[in-house]
Amino acid sequence: MGFRLTKIYTKTGDQGDTGLGDGTRIKKSALRMDVIGTVDELNSWVGAIINVMAGGTEKLDTARSYLSGLQHTLFDLGGELAIPGSELIDAEDVNQVEVNIDRLNEDLEPLKNFVLPGGSECASRVHLSRTCCRRAERLLVSLMEGGKINPFSVQFINRLSDYFFVLSRYVIVAAKKPEVLWQPKGSITRP
């Protein structure tokens, strides 16, 4: 390990700018910082999922393990974004998301309607992760429009939102609870 943080506050950001990993200083309001902050927020949501996800099945245990590793990959993505031009996310990261989607999806019934966020504490947190991931993707694509971004990072974050969707469905089914399905206007009497 190169260095350790011994002093947490440096006062160098008191004027609204911050340092990137390559030494460049940019405004904290810059798009790049918005993407980095959103990836950090997503990582926090993943931790919140891990804290409430029950084990008990091989697939849930595997999902918990994958989520723990995913936190490190999300930190790598943040590091990649903090050092413009670096590439830490690769094809294997994208492949691992797809493998984990397929593993969970094989036990799920095909969707016949849209799923609403909710159903359990864990599923709700997974949906919050999904929506945060989608925001990170939109911001990352905006950043890509302004310059060179690792294409695997965009693929990774795109697949990851799909993973969270499938995981939200799986945790409901594993808990033997009904999915919360959207009912189109006029099909039911709403409260």
pLDDT at 34: 93
Question: pLDDT exceeding 70 applies to what percent of the chain?
Answer: 87
155 or 188: whose pLDDT is higher? Answer: 155
The per-residue pLDDT for range 115-139, each reduced to its tens digit, is 889 999 999 999 999 999 999 999 9
d(CA 88, CA 111): 35
Classified by CATH at the fold level, domain 26-174 comes out as Hypothetical Protein Ta1238; Chain: A; (1.20.1200)
Residue 123's Cβ-side half-sphere holds a number of Cα atoms within 13 Å equal to: 20
The per-residue pLDDT for range 76-88, each reduced to its tens digit, is 999 999 998 899 9
pLDDT at 55: 78
Residue boundaries of the structural domains of the chain: 26-174
Find, among 111, 126, 108, the residue nearest to 49 by Cα: 126
Q: Provide φ and ψ at 146, rounded to 5°.
A: -95, 0
Instruction: Kindly indicate the confidence band of residue 57, based on its pLDDT and cuts at 50, 70 and 90.
Output: confident
d(CA 77, CA 159): 14
Beta bridge partners of 25: 19
d(CA 156, CA 110): 24
**Chain centre to alpha carbon of residue 19:** 24
